[in-house]
Amino acid sequence: MHNQQAFELLHDPFRNKGTAFTEEERLANGLEGLLPPTVETLDEQVERILKQIVRWDNDLERYMMLRSLQDRNRTLFYRVLTSDPERFLPLVYTPTVGDACEQFGHILRRSHGVYLPVTARGRVKDLLSNWEERDVRFIVVTDGSRILGLGDLGASGMGIPIGKLALYTACAGVPPRLSLPIMLDVGTDNEGFLNDPLYAGIRQKRCDDETYYAFLDEFVQAVQELFPKCCIQFEDFSMNHAAPLLAKYRDEVCCFNDDIQGTAGVAVAGIYAACRAKGESIGDQRILFLGAGSAGTGIAELFVEAIVADTGKTREEAMKHVQLFDVNGLLVQGRTDLMPFQKPFMADAPACDDFVEAIKSFRPTGIIGVSTVQGAFNEQVVRAMVEVNDRPLIFPYSNPTSRAECTAEEAYEWTDGRVLFGSGTPMPPVKVGGKMIKPSQGNNVYIFPAVGMAIFATGAWRVPQEAFLAAARSLAMQVPQSFFENGRLYPDRGNIRAVSLNVAGAVARTLSQLGHARNHCDDWDKRIAELAYRPEYST
């Protein structure tokens, strides 16, 4: 007789143990003969994966292997990731996920998550109901319109929600059963994909805004009805939709936008750490941004809020500490081409379309690149920063690596090793002062998984800006003092689990103090440690 239960067990990634099923479990579940007879430990299974992964020729193939592992055995997948975060996080997320998204339709093997096409308007709740888990706490959702620095990838952007949620678990211990990646397929204007026979999305141009916002509203309302304790993370939405969506929903439902708020949290953490390195306060800093989209304005907003909170300056005074520069030059009074979310950052300054001249005039202590323009922080730009600073902050935050404004090697060389550095994508080791160092990466991975864990622990129903300021401060305080000598501003990713749980504790306390928590606790650090998922087989 066909043993349906045994096959279901082997194909359930949450319950499958593969060769780690004991002899007793094999007998009880009808698994005898369906597995090789050797019973292995979880660590032995990890060792096999580690030996297999080095045989692949490139990181995209390693990404595909790990995704296949995720689909068949979640415990083993997360045990591999947590065994060496420095090695594996770049394989399941940036920079490799950028290549995976560009090739998504060609490497697709097994569907993961939920796809909601705009052609299903009026039936979104029905489609969402097909997901088997009823207790969903975290949704990462994208419409594929601005994937990393790669632009409109349509439904191929699904790799981003999948990767982000893997980091929720690997970095901060959010139980993987609680997460759901979602693609809102509203079409694509990418002609290459529309003409690609293996493209996995609907073959039509992006819908108009009226249809778009109605579809998004139907989605958000469906989530509230089906998953009332769920937090929605908006991810990689285009500039013209990201800020309006956050403004519309942030006070209505539990949600945040990682590109705006997570990026802001990690950037402000870098600025706080730089203050520690220089023995200065955040009120002493002036930041010039290259890029004035949702990420740039998001960082600027949180930086301004940090100055107000820490120094007692008014918002008007704090706003004088930031200037933003986009493709048409400095954001100044009188410009008529700005979107509503950019207008608060119009500087009372002369028009300027030369970034080096903007540096000489504003004399910033740091520059942050969110432009996706490779090489925009050229030697002239970096040396201009050295002329006005003893230790300049250089943050090329655009990713993937092919879109970074400069490399770590360039930043260290052109500043004679005096730079305080953070990149948005992993950079190879650099020789500084006769020794090799690993440049700091200011990746959102330090922020959003920890914020997610805090939301899970507290049962928060809203995610205020103060949560990201708390995360930034906690992260900055965890940078070892010894790192500052070599311009490093972020902890090692090898310690990301411990760092993330500390950040989560700080955020949980803030959420509780502000009255946003459903749950109550006297020791949030202890509670979060108890809740954190550990990749171990249940007995």
In the chain, the amino acid numbered 455 is I
**How far is residue 63's CA from residue 364's CA, in Å, rounded to a whole number?**
39
The reply to whether 435 belongs to the active site is: no
Residues listed for the chain: 539
Burial category of 134 from C-beta neighbours within 10 Å (exposed 0-12, middle 13-18, buried 19 and up):
exposed
Which residues have C-beta within 8 Å of that of residue 211, sequence separation ≥ 6? 118, 121, 186
Q: Which residue from 394, 424, 143, 141 is spatially nearest to 295, judged by alpha carbons?
A: 424
**How far is residue 495's CA from residue 193's CA, in Å, rounded to a whole number?**
39
Tokens of 534: 């550990």
Catalytic site residue from 17, 78, 164, 397: 164
Catalytic site residue from 17, 63, 78, 93: 93
E strand spans, 376-433: 393-396, 420-421, 430-432
- DSSP letter string over 141-190? EE-SSS-TTS---GGGGGHHHHHHHHHHHHHH---GGGEEEEEEE-----
**How far is residue 208's CA from residue 212's CA, in Å, rounded to a whole number?**
6
Q: Which residue from 35, 32, 27, 69 is spatially nearest to 50, judged by alpha carbons?
A: 69
Q: Are 331 and 292 in contact (CB under 8 A)?
A: yes
| Helix 524-531 vs helix 496-513: crossing angle, to nearest 10 | 130
164-189 in b/e burial notation, b at 16+ Cβ within 10 A?
bbbbbbbbbbbbbebbbbbbbbbbbe
DSSP letter, residue 205:
P
The reply to whether 313 belongs to the active site is: no
CB atoms within 10 A of CB 2: 7
Which residues have C-beta within 8 Å of that of residue 504, sequence separation ≥ 6? 172, 450, 451, 453, 454, 457, 528
In the chain, the amino acid numbered 277 is A
Catalytic residues: 93, 164
